């Protein structure tokens, strides 16, 4: 198995509570990730330790050669790490890909600094494809979240 760590930080023009509220709603991930086209089976509950979690299935759509389409169903568990300031999503994807995505929010003037960290485990032959896709998603997420938060700021 191969392991990759990806990190990116940026600033958005909305306060942390607005960004946090946006990121804790599964439906908001449609378009926030360029691959996510649908969110389904959203269930809110508690984990084994009694902590609140949100479980859902995200549909990632991959296109190959402009004519082939593959929908990848990924299971996601969203946890609040620190209310209003940090959340973590654990992702299980077919093919043995596992991703831990942690977002930390810090006040930055009248906006927020977003610290986005990903740890990905995958089969070694998939490393280049998986990390390339994940980095593209991470950078798109920064651009799209910045755009969305400019409307709320």
Most distant CA pair in the chain: distance in Å? 46
Please report which confidence band the pLDDT of residue 152 belongs to, taking 50, 70 and 90 as the band edges: low
pLDDT in tens, 73-131: 999 999 999 999 999 999 998 888 999 999 999 999 999 999 999 999 999 999 998 99
Quick one: DSSP state of residue 14? S
Please report which confidence band the pLDDT of residue 153 belongs to, taking 50, 70 and 90 as the band edges: low
pLDDT in tens, 52-86: 899 999 998 887 777 888 888 999 999 999 999 99
In the chain, what are the domain boundaries? 2-152
Instruction: Report how far residue 35's alpha carbon sits from residue 141's, in angstroms, rounded to the nearest whole number.
Output: 11
Residue 4: C-alpha distances to residues 15, 68, 104, 123, 145 (Å): 30, 28, 19, 11, 23
Instruction: Report how far residue 60's alpha carbon sits from residue 134's, in angstroms, rounded to the nearest whole number.
Output: 12
Instruction: Report how far residue 114's alpha carbon sits from residue 152's, in angstroms, rounded to the nearest whole number.
Output: 16
Quick one: DSSP state of residue 30? B
The CATH superfamily label for domain 2-152 reads: START domain (3.30.530.20)
Q: Note the pTM of the prediction, 2 decimals.
A: 0.89
The per-residue DSSP string of 105-117 comes to EEEETTEEEEEEE
* pLDDT of the residue at 71: 85
Instruction: Report how far residue 16's alpha carbon sits from residue 131's, in angstroms, rounded to the nearest whole number.
Output: 28
């Amino acid at each position: 198995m191969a392991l990759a760590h990806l990190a990116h930080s940026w600033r958005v023009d909305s306060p942390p509570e607005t960004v946090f509220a946006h990121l804790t709603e599964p439906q908001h991930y449609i378009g926030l990730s360029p691959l996510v086209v649908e969110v389904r089976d959203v269930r809110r509950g508690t984990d084994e330790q009694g902590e609140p979690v949100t479980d859902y299935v995200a549909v990632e759509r991959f296109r190959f050669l402009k004519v082939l389409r593959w929908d990848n169903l990924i299971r996601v568990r969203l946890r609040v790490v620190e209310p209003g300031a940090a959340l973590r999503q654990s992702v299980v994807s077919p093919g043995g890909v596992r991703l831990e995505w942690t977002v930390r929010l810090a006040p930055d003037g009248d906006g927020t600094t977003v610290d986005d960290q990903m740890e990905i485990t995958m089969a070694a032959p998939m490393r280049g494809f998986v990390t390339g896709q994940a980095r593209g998603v991470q950078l798109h997420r920064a651009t799209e979240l910045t755009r969305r938060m400019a409307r709320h700021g």
